[in-house]
Amino acid sequence: MPDDGLPDPGPARERVCAVVLRDPALPKVLMVRHVESTRAYWTLPGGGVEDGETLEEAVLREVREETGLVGTVGGLLYVRRHRTPGSAPAAETCFLVKVDPAAVATTGFDPELAADAQVITAVAWHPLASLHADRQVCLAIPALRRLSR
């Protein structure tokens, strides 16, 4: 039993996300808009790691599914482990993903959801400076600065 007094819920749920940049000189980050029953929000492309996938394979698959873009992994930005009481521990690994500056992002889909249950409604490039309140982006900024040196 963990020292928090809660029963052990099993292995950590692995998740990946991507800070997608097409031109480091013009730092705009690709964000994905999700609309769910009670809320709408912008987030980094990402999702769960499938059995047998490496983290790098998973992040490139998620970027392709959600944005239509094919990229390359440019570096590890952060790893965050957390646990919400009553749920399984989770780990989120975020990578820098570089894409062709001429490539056009398209609104993607979640293959695990039916066509009429899709939650991804848009993709758009946002200036990095405008994302100061986004938790994932804030965690990635120090590593982005190190990688750009």
| CATH number, domain containing residue 124 | 3.90.79.10
Q: Is residue 103 part of a domain?
A: yes
Q: Is residue 109 part of a domain?
A: yes
**Tens-place pLDDT, residues 89-105:** 889 999 999 999 999 99
Tell me how far apart the alpha carbons of residues 79 and 102 are, in angstroms, rounded to a whole number.
30
Tell me how far apart the alpha carbons of residues 72 and 89 are, in angstroms, rounded to a whole number.
28
Q: What is the mean pLDDT of the chain?
A: 87
Tell me how far apart the alpha carbons of residues 58 and 49 are, in angstroms, rounded to a whole number.
5
- What was the pLDDT predicted at 5? 63
Tell me how far apart the alpha carbons of residues 48 and 57 are, in angstroms, rounded to a whole number.
11
Tell me how far apart the alpha carbons of residues 70 and 60 are, in angstroms, rounded to a whole number.
7
Q: Is residue 47 part of a domain?
A: yes
C-alpha distances in Å from residue 129, one per residue of 4, 20, 132: 38, 15, 6
**Tens-place pLDDT, residues 64-123:** 999 999 999 999 999 999 877 777 788 999 999 999 999 999 999 888 888 888 889 999
The domain of 135 spans 21-147
How many structural domains is the chain composed of?
1
What's this model's pTM, rounded to 2 decimal places? 0.84
